[in-house]
Chains A and B, each alone.
Chain A
Amino acid sequence: MNRPVPAGLTGLSDFRPAQASEPQPAPAARAIAEAHGFVERNPQTIRKRRKPTEEPTYSFTARVSVRSANAFIEWCERERMSYREGFDRLVEKIEKA
């Protein structure tokens, strides 16, 4: 592209890198900013309801008796734990036996 350089852009050497002499903004500046609604934008983080597992997980389906299923679900609800935690507690009993 061949075009004439607009006046004013032919030499920009009068703009030299230089430390600005401006003093740092007064502490009042922050208060004024907040009064105008310029506030710290907190990065939004999702609050996890449960602790994530540290170990790998595996998913399987099992056909069990209604009687055992009901007992297991009720126990998990009573203890306010997930099925995963309930299953872990049952497995611990095998290890201890």
Chain B
Amino acid sequence: MPVIVISNPKGGTGKSTTSLVLATTLARHGASVTAFDCDPNRHLVAWKDGPSQSKVEVIGHADSSNIARMLKAEAARQQFVIADLEGTASLMVASAILAADLVIIPTQGSAMDASQARRAISFIDDQAAAVGPRPYRVLFTRTKPGFATRDERVIRETLIGSGVPLFGTDLAERAAYRSMFTYRLSLEEMDPAAVNGLDKAVENADALVGEVVENLRATRQAA
């Protein structure tokens, strides 16, 4: 049922990577999942064309006029719907955000990523009056476990200081997450001997999905 939208109008913040990690991890735990590929680079569509046996379904033909309707239709059919949005501020992005049960805003520890993350947040906040609040949460991506850069620390503190909710789990920098796109497989299908730190990558994916699911359950309870 929940529609999880992955959005940051800044390019290259880790939206497609986060989307694929979430979708394949949920599927690995037995859930039915549809991932919408709304990124003009079509990474998820290309992934689905590969040899993966993952049950994740991919839809790649939505546009700004039908995205909200299509997301809701899939939510009626699947346990989870995930939308990988384009890295621009488009009407499609705005429409998808409005159809979301949870908006995940990936950001790297850079001021540019964070300022565009804020842009998405201020849009969501402004919309709240018209269409009701949309839960959102910022996700730090490509972090190095145990080594936060100064920029990253400052940005984290600033966001927390202004009341922006952050995920406790980051999506760390891992070669395995890139390899998913290279080999067009899900994490559990890759060879641990060929991909560095695969075990850690799976662990991180589980922790993140665990937090996402916990978050969705809490929102549902509150409703």
Contacts and interface: CB of A to CB of B under 8 A. Distances in A.
Interface string A51-95: 000000000000000000000000000000000000000000000
Contacts of B3: 20
B155 interface: no
Q: Quick one: which of B79, B119, B207 has the most chain A CB within 10 A?
A: B79
B1 A18 contact: yes
B88 interface: yes
B90 A39 contact: yes
Contacts of A14: 217
Interface size grouping (class) on chain B = 35 or more
Q: Name the prevailing secondary structure of the B interface residues.
A: helix
Contact of A15 (B79, B95, B206): B79
B1 A40 contact: no
A16 B216 CA distance: 12
A29 B79 contact: no
B145 interface: no
A18 B72 CA distance: 9
A96 interface: no
B54 interface: no
A25 B29 contact: no
A29 B89 contact: no
A28 interface: yes
Contacts of A20: 1, 3, 72, 75-76, 99, 101
A12 interface: yes
A17 B78 contact: yes
Given A6-B210, A18-B75, A40-B64, A28 B130 contact: yes
B91 interface: yes
B76 A29 contact: no
17 contacts: A6-B206, A8-B213, A12-B79, A12-B213, A15-B80, A18-B1, A25-B68, A25-B95, A32-B130, A33-B91, A36-B89, A36-B122, A36-B126, A38-B93, A40-B91, A41-B86, A41-B90
Interface of A: 1, 3, 5-9, 12, 14-20, 22, 24-26, 28-30, 32-41
Interface of B: 1-3, 9, 26, 29-32, 64, 68, 72, 75-80, 86, 88-95, 98-99, 101, 119, 122-123, 126-127, 130-132, 188, 192, 199, 202-203, 206-207, 209-210, 213-214, 216-217
Top 8 A-B residue pairs of the complex, sorted by shortest distance between their CB atoms: A33-B94, A38-B94, A41-B90, A36-B123, A18-B1, A19-B76, A25-B98, A12-B31
